[in-house]
Each structure stands twice: as structure tokens, then as C-alpha cells.
A and B are shown apart, each in its own frame.
Chain A
Amino acid sequence: MMPNSAVIRISGLHYHYSREENILSDINLQVEQGNLYGFLGPNGSGKTTTLSLLLGLLKKQKGSIEIFGQEFQANRLNILKRTGSLIESPSLYRQLTARENLEVYRSVYGAKKERVGEVLKLVGLEDTGTKKAGNFSLGMKQRLAIALALLHRPELLILDEPTNGLDPGGIVELRELIKRLNKDEGITMLISSHLLSEVERMVSHLGIIFKGRMLFQGSLEELRLFQQKQSRLKIHSSDNEAAMDILKDYHPEKTMEGLLIPFRDYQEVALINSLLTKNRLGVYLLQPQERSLEQLFMDLTSTHS
């Protein structure tokens, strides 16, 4: 496969369950080879619907879905042979052991018998013996579900809310496993979550969906740049009207307490301070208001609600 080729390309995707309710509107999403892509959005924003369409669990109504450069509907089996997935909660047969659960799908995926032991070792479940999956902890179930998704050495892994319900230890463990699989095995990953803090520590690229629309798509760096652009400096001086005039090139915004100015970095804050003092204004308050990625996510999703 060519480097930097799009593994997933969704264009103009729309979906509705009923005519009155649009679940997805004009979704455009692209995941490049080797990306660890975080698909972020609050609950009910359309993440699972998008992933279900990607895996053919729902039939596409409008738009196009290409995976590995192939149209999905026409190449469903070829695409699924190269894709591993975990949709919502772990899908396991409770009455079967870890090994038996993998055996159910081994032939379906055309994997060799020894691969079962390999993936169990990879997720740290090689010693579960005759213990039934129904008696596993949620973390173990999640890891077994990932082992199942890895059985056929997929090139693409789609994980829907993989850390849901896990304790902090389980989350860290799973995060490390995901990073390792992406780095060591070169698997392209699409991971959905409703928590930015959870995915920002592992993903390289992000897509933010809200109420069925994509609000942002790009690298984590681009999101940080976007975050900087959203930072404001709160100013209160001895003459706010005069300060507005002096700082007019910064496009200030008048508020009840003074003014708000977008800023890039602390050098710019120092420059603004010196401009005000040079013009003999008393600076009472100079407060940078930086937005964390989490706040930015909240802002992005709340301003569109």
C-alpha cells in the first residue's frame, strides 16, 4: 500500500432513521494509513451510526464510503477481511473460554491455529485456561474483544468507545495496548470516544462530530493551533475606551469589566502591556484566558447546539 494513502474516505455521508430526524449530515472523514484517529463526540452525536455504516451494519443512504480505496458495498467481504472491529460493548460468548471464543471466528477470518495463542499473549490473556468469558472482568473482556479483532492481522482496526466502563487502571492498560499496536504492528486505527482527555493522549489525528455534523477534522497539532486562536486576554485599565482605541489592531471586544483580546503567546501579552503603559494607562488587570482542549471541545459542541 502507498504511504499516506487514505485507508478510510467518507464523503458527503447522510443518514436518517426517519424522515424527520437526520442522524448524519454531510459527514466527510479521512483516515490516512498509520493514523491513530480519534473520532470524538458526545453521546448520541452519531459516532456509532458512522462506524456502523463503515462496517456495513447499516445500509448507506447518501454519500460514499471507501475503505482501502474500494467502495464498501461492492467490496464488503474483501474490506472486512482486512478490518478488525469492536462495536460498543465486547461481543463475546459468555459460556465459552477465551480460546473457544477466538476459535469461533478463526476459520471465518482464515487465521491459522497458532494465531489464537499469539493474540491471547498479545493482550495478556494467555493464562485464562478454562475460565469462561462470562466470568471475566470488563477489562479482560475488552482485551479479549481486541484479541478477536486482531485475529486475522487486520490493517485497519475500528474501536467504538473501547474504554467504556473500564477502571483507571484498565484505561491506562488499554491505551498502552492501542498505542503499541499502532506503532509496532502498523495498524491504522479509528477510535471513537466521548471524552477528549481520553483520546488526546494517544491519537495523532482527530475528528469531532456533534449532532451528526463534523465540527473539526485534522491533526492534534492543528487542534492545538485552533485552541491557541481561541485564547483571550482579559484587560481592565484606567481608561478602557482609550485602551480599545490603542489596541484596535488586535480587534478587541468590549465587555462589562473591560476588554477581551485574542492572543497567541506570552510575548504578545507583554507587548500589549507595554503599549498600554507607554500610553500612560494604568493596567489593573491583565489575565490570559487559555482554553484547554477539553474546554475547546465543550465550546465547539455547545456553540453548535
Chain B
Amino acid sequence: MNMLTSFRSELLKSKRTASLYVCLFAAAIIPLLLVFDTATPQAIEALSADPWNLHFKAGIEFMGTLILPMFIILICTLLPQIEYRNNTWKQLMSSPQPFAHIFFSKFLTVHLLVLLFFTAYNLLMLLSALVVNYRITAIEFFDHSIDWHQLIVANFRTYSACLAIISIQFWAGMRFKNAVTPIAIGFGLWILAAVLVIEVKWEHVDKFPFAYPILMIYSKYSAVISLILWKSIAYAVFFSGLAYLDFRLRKVKAA
């Protein structure tokens, strides 16, 4: 029994669930908004200088701070809910698979969906740039080039900054039968992070994982981005380990 078999089984059961639709819908929000954001002369002028890179920069800032955390909260809840809603945990746990394979194949599926979100988002951003180029002739996208390195780094940073959130939310999604609880926890912590960064300006906000995607766009933290990303990875490892331990030690309720 290898991990790939368990992973394949996970992918098969997510067929026709809301996960894929949520992924595509979430990925389309920012590209769609940016098509209409270029309506004012000021926006057109600002974008004309370096259209591709400014378009992608504006997109990833909104995506990383607003859409991606919400998408993670939803997807980490929806995926374990497949088992809760269908009452299939007992069947799954009594199948001949190591518990680690069951747990980590679900965890990998979440990451796969996040990566799918990134792919769809970037493709839709390209498409949205083409639409802007067609609609507003003053912006000459094809007279400029894309800084691919900058684009890849920005995507990598955004993904890494969310690793801790993925692990925490995945734990909550696996832990609670009621879908409202992990969503409430996620949104609560996300709003708290925004308040701590924007309103309170808490000096230790770099220790709060839900704040990391927001810190990525703050110039104040640009010098310590690498450190923040390492913290995100460390938190992700810690909370994934904790979530696995909790999963292993939990009793499957029997009447």
C-alpha cells in the first residue's frame, strides 16, 4: 500500500464536490475585479508605465491578503466534510490503509487545490490583462514585458506565507464535525490578524501566523520577509504534526 493509492482515492472522492468550483470561482474574483478597476484616468495612467507587472502586483496583493485566506478556510473545511456529511469516517478508518496515509493524502489534496487555485488565478490574470488591453487602448500591454522572476517569487512568497494557515485550518477542519466551527475559527483569526496589523500595529504581529499574508505587502516588513516565511514553514510543520497526533489519538465515536 503506497501513499499514491490513498491520494488517488482522495482525489476520486472529491469528484463532483464543491471544492473544484470554489477553487475556480475564488481564482476568478481578482482578475475579474481588475478588468473593471481600470475605468478611471488615474488608474489608466498608473498602469501604463509598466502594465504587466503592475497588473500582477495589484492582483497578488488583493489575492494574498483577501481571497487566498478565505479560500483556504473554505477548502480546509469542505474537504474533511466529505467524510462527515456522508458518514464515511468509520469505513475509511477500517480500510487497510496506514492512518498516516489517510491523513496526509487529505492534506496533500488541500495543497493540490491551493496550487490549482494559484495556476487558475495566474492564467485568469493573463486573460484579464488581455481584456484590459483590448478594452483600453491607452494601456499598451504588448509594448512591455512580464518580469517572470518577480511573478514567480511573488507567487512563491504568497503560497509560503499561507502554509501555517493551511495547517491550522486543516487541523480545525479535520477536528470538528460541524462545518461552522472551523469556518468561524478561521474567519475570526483572519479578522484578528487584520486588526492587529492595521489598527493595533502590534509589535509582535510577526508571531501571529494569520498575519503573514498581510505582512507580505507591508514595506515595513520587506527586510524580514525571509524570516517570516521560515516562521510560516515552522508553524506549518508544528501544526501539521499536532493535527496528525490529534487524528491518531482521537476515538472514533461508537454508539
Contact = CB atoms under 8 A, between A and B. Distances in A.
Interface of A: 17, 43-44, 48-49, 51-52, 55-59, 76-78, 80-81, 83, 85-89, 91-96, 100, 103-105, 107-110, 145, 148
Given A57-B90, A87-B90, A44 B1 contact: no
7 contacts: A48-B255, A49-B254, A89-B87, A95-B15, A96-B12, A107-B5, A109-B96
A57 B93 contact: yes
A49 B93 CA distance: 15
Contacts, number: 90
Contacts of B252: 52, 57-58
Contacts of A43: 255
Interface string B1-43: 1000110110011011100000000000000000000000000
Given A91-B87, A148-B91, A96 B251 contact: no
Interface string B209-222: 00000000000000
Given A59-B251, A95-B15, A85 B88 contact: no
B36 to A, nearest CB: 35
Contact of B94 (A17, A49, A57, A59): A57
Interface of B: 1, 5-6, 8-9, 12-13, 15-17, 82, 85-88, 90-98, 251-252, 254-255
A91 B251 contact: no
Contact of A55 (B9, B82, B94): B94
Contacts of B92: 91
A80 B96 contact: yes
Contacts of B5: 107-108
Contacts of A78: 96
B151 to A, nearest CB: 36
Contacts of B85: 94
Contact of A105 (B15, B87, B95): B95
A100 B88 CA distance: 15
4 cross-chain pairs, A with B, having the tightest CB-CB distances, nearest first: A91-B91, A52-B254, A80-B96, A55-B94
A107 B85 CA distance: 23
Contact of B90 (A88, A94, A107): A88
A104 B255 CA distance: 26
A181 B27 CA distance: 50
Contacts of B97: 77, 108
B96 A104 contact: no
A52 B91 CA distance: 11
Given A48-B254, A58-B254, A108-B9, A96 B95 contact: no
Contact of B82 (A44, A58, A93): A93
Contacts of B6: 108
Contacts of B96: 76-78, 80-81, 108-109
Contacts of B82: 93
Nearest to A49: B254
Given A76-B96, A93-B13, 20 more contacts: A52-B90, A52-B252, A55-B90, A57-B93, A57-B252, A58-B254, A77-B1, A81-B96, A83-B94, A85-B91, A86-B91, A87-B90, A87-B94, A91-B87, A91-B91, A91-B92, A104-B9, A108-B6, A108-B96, A109-B96
A107 B97 CA distance: 11
Contacts of B12: 96, 100, 103-104
A104 B6 CA distance: 9
A100 B15 contact: yes
A77 B1 CA distance: 9
Nearest to A106: B9
B16 to A, nearest CB: 4
A81 B95 CA distance: 8
A96 B13 contact: yes
Contact of A107 (B9, B88, B98): B9
